[in-house]
Amino acid sequence: MPSRPPPFRPSFTLLLLYVAGFFLCYAMLFALPDLIAGYRELPPSTAPLTPEELERAKQISQHALGGGKVLLALLAALATAGLGIWRKLLPGVR
């Protein structure tokens, strides 16, 4: 009697997706205060942004994740995924 192949379990792929999702969440949390402060500096208007305002927005977004915040977001994402696996809270990677 032939044996059945084991079912496909994409646990590593799910783990990568969890880490990527946690990374995006943490990166946005770290960048959000600077982005909100830059948004509040804009004058109220319904017109499209001027090139100067777009350049200022680009500088704010580059500065928002500077100073090691990207590495900190990655470490926080890895720690959260590790904690979720250890506590068996993340479905699909148990």
Q: Are 84 and 18 in contact (CB under 8 A)?
A: yes
Cβ neighbors of 56 (< 8 A, separation 6 or more) are 38, 41
List the pLDDT tens digit at each of the 94 positions of the chain: 678 887 878 889 999 999 999 999 999 999 999 889 988 988 888 889 889 988 988 898 888 888 889 999 999 999 999 999 999 999 988 7
In a 10 Å sphere around its CB, with 0-12 CB exposed, 13-18 middle and 19+ buried, how is residue 67 labelled?
exposed
Q: Are 77 and 85 in contact (CB under 8 A)?
A: no
Residue 47: the pLDDT is: 87
Residue 1: the pLDDT is: 67
Helix and strand totals (H; E) in the chain: 3, 0
- Provide the residue ranges of all domains of the chain, joining segments of one domain with +: 23-41+51-94
Residue 9: the pLDDT is: 80
Residue 92: the pLDDT is: 87
